[in-house]
Structure 1
Amino acid sequence: MSVRDTLTRLENMVVGATRLPFTEKTFVNDQELIRCVEELRKDLPQELRRANEIVEQRDKILHEAEKEAERIRKEAKQYANRMTEESEIVQQSKDRAKTILQQTQQQEREIMERTRKNAAQLQNDADAYANQVFDQLISHVNGTFQGVRQAEAGLQQALSVLQQAKEQMNQQAARQAQQNAGGEMAPAEQ
């Protein structure tokens, strides 16, 4: 399952959680929450590995472009060396070699520029994707955490209400016992 799917499940878990009556608190299944967090721990390294593969692919493209540029340069030099025979031929050769070298350098610049742009775009896309995954993860975990805290606060309130009810019941029972004890004494005194 992808990180996005797991984050969507976390969000749906919080949105669809049972609400505590008279509060804005919700109950979240902690086992399901833990399972989602474990899936994120499992899936995040895969997403990061994919981003690293993109970076490695960019580096490979750059390396291949450099090798191709070097090969073209060598061919141009070899061509220029072959053309150094007679003066007219030499001049023509020099002119041709110069043209080829300029074309080669221009091609090299264009290839390198395209490769740099592609690599930069791949890096930006990988960084943006990683940031988006982390932002979503932080947002969903924070939302889930807030939901758990709200549920905890609701339970604290319920516990307090139950303790107050118990104290009132005990006080009422004590008053009743005193009244009963006072009522029994009155006839004995007569």
Structure 2
Amino acid sequence: MMAVHKNIVRPIGYCADTQCQAMKYNGKLVLGEVRERLICLEYVSNGTLEGHIGKYGEVDWNQRYQILKGICQGLRYLHDEVHVFHGDIKPSNILIGDNLVPKIYDFGLSRSFEGQTSCIAENIRGTLGYIAPETFDGILSFKADIYSLGVVVTELLTGSRGYADIDDVRKLFNPHLDQSVAIDLFLLN
């Protein structure tokens, strides 16, 4: 089902191309497929929410409220109407359109939860600092998107990231991280 809502970025088109190419694999010539896909999205004029955080003089409290309300309406639509878990709610995945209308996009980690409210995942994906703690146990649910939304709300209201100190991030997430998973926490800075 295609999501159509004023707070969800609208897809305009999609194309896919598959070409066969001869290539060497383990010293043998094999025929392989090269697939390319392209999704064309509507143009959203004012960049991402990340670019608006911390600009107190430019975004007043009423505008912040309207932005947050729009994000909440978009998430409610995704969860209640089309049963989609986004999986990576963060300021850089929220575009700001005309009149500061927020539009959720980047559905690369999303999943359809048709008929269910959660699922178990083997691969943990998302952005540290925005991932709900239960996600590290492999539990994906709409609640994890709401947790991420809470981090976004805090950032928009305070004008700064919730985890400024790398040691705070380590203390919070180290008990949940598998030692075999290599995550460079310094990417958070």
> Fold match, TM over 0.5?
no
Alignment TM class, shorter chain as reference? under 0.3
Q: Which has the higher contact order (CA 8 A, sep 6+)?
A: 1
Q: Larger C-alpha radius of gyration, 1 or 2?
A: 1
TM-score by length of 2: 0.25
Larger proportion of helix: 1
Larger proportion of strand: 2
